[in-house]
Amino acid sequence: MKRQLRRVVTVGGVLAVTLLLWVLLPLWLVAAAALSPLLPGRWRALRLLWIVILYATIDTLLLVVMFGYWLAAGGSRRVRAPYWQGLHYDLVQGVMWVLFREAKRVLRLDIVTEGPAPDAHPGQPLLVCCRHAGPGDSFTLIHALMYWYRREPRVVLKDTLRWDPAIDVLLHRIPARFISPDPAQGEDLESQIKALATDLDEDDAFVIFPEGGNFTAARRDRAIARLRKLGLERMAARAEQMTNVLAPRPGGFLAALDAAPEADVVLVAHTGLDHLLTVGDVWRELPMDKQIVMRWWRVARADIPADRDGRIDWLFGWWEQIDAWIDEHRVGSAPT
């Protein structure tokens, strides 16, 4: 009942916002044009307005198309069958292509990937671990996995993203998990992750953000304090040396490793999408005329320690490497 009520509210809200954006478009254009000379960057308000309109419109169209899928499939159970899951993945890939094409054209974002080429992982499932700095990195990572690496991602996401109704509906139809920060709700996190990472096939990529949340200074301090409370002084000291990332929480990653013993691990770092957490952050810091760099590292399964303590130390070591890489690759302007 709670899910149905939430969807009534969020779907209605998205439809209303999209309608208002298009019906009152001339007014929004005049206001954005008037604001643009007062803001840094070239036509910042107009460019941001177009991205907002595009996102709201795509959200609405996604809901309409997925409702059509639900009718054609004959209900909620059948729409989760492999055939319909494939259609939903195709839908996501198409939507991401449109969003990032427009981001490149309107915002002049140049996304560069470094590391193994897409054909470096033929016929093998992957566990993908990415730093977390806001919702923008989730979208960029999924786009890269689907468009460049031809993977079908299985994603672990915070349940706050359920308030986007298109994401809410979509991720209840493909393999994914919304997780709650409240451990008292439902089964434990590691069990959910283990279930999702089981039976990966050759074109699957299990995606996890080991930090457990977006980076903020307050969360970094809490993560360090939590390690000390658990008596892990050495790990806390290492976490204090990392200034761009949170100390990784290894439980979910270790559960995924156990559930997918045949999968290699890919670690991902990026610059350019940091700290876009609130509407105010997006307004102030949305990257325009910039280059976003994504760095990928592949680690063969045989090179990952077999014991729990060794795996935790290995993960911390990689997070220290990612932290150092971020320091060396701050965002620059996109080439003209």
pLDDT in tens, 46-78: 888 998 999 999 999 999 999 999 999 998 889
Helix (H, G, I), strand (E, B) or coil at 227: helix
- CB atoms closer than 10 angstroms to residue 119: 8
Instruction: Kindly provide the b/e burial profile for residues 283-311, where b requires at least 16 CB atoms within 10 angstroms of the residue's own CB.
Output: eeebbbebbbbbbbbeeeeeeeeeeeeeb
Phi-psi region of 123 (alpha: psi -120 to 50; beta: other; left: phi over 0): left
Q: Which two tokens stand for residue 184?
A: 């008292």
Q: How many residues does the chain have?
A: 336
Q: What is the pLDDT of residues 172-220, one digit of tens each?
A: 999 998 877 554 444 578 888 999 999 999 889 999 999 887 787 888 9
Is 248 within 8 Å of 312 (Cβ atoms)? no
Whole-prediction pTM value? 0.86
Q: For residues 187 and 252, what is the distance between their CA atoms, to the nearest angstrom?
A: 13
Longest Cα–Cα distance of the chain, Å, equals: 62
Q: Which residues contact 206 (CB under 8 A, 6 or more apart)?
A: 125, 126, 127, 128, 153, 154, 196, 197, 200, 256, 260, 263
Is 40 within 8 Å of 61 (Cβ atoms)? no
Q: Which two tokens stand for residue 246?
A: 């949170």
Q: Which of 32-41, 69-78, 189-198, 301-310 has the lowest mean pLDDT?
A: 32-41
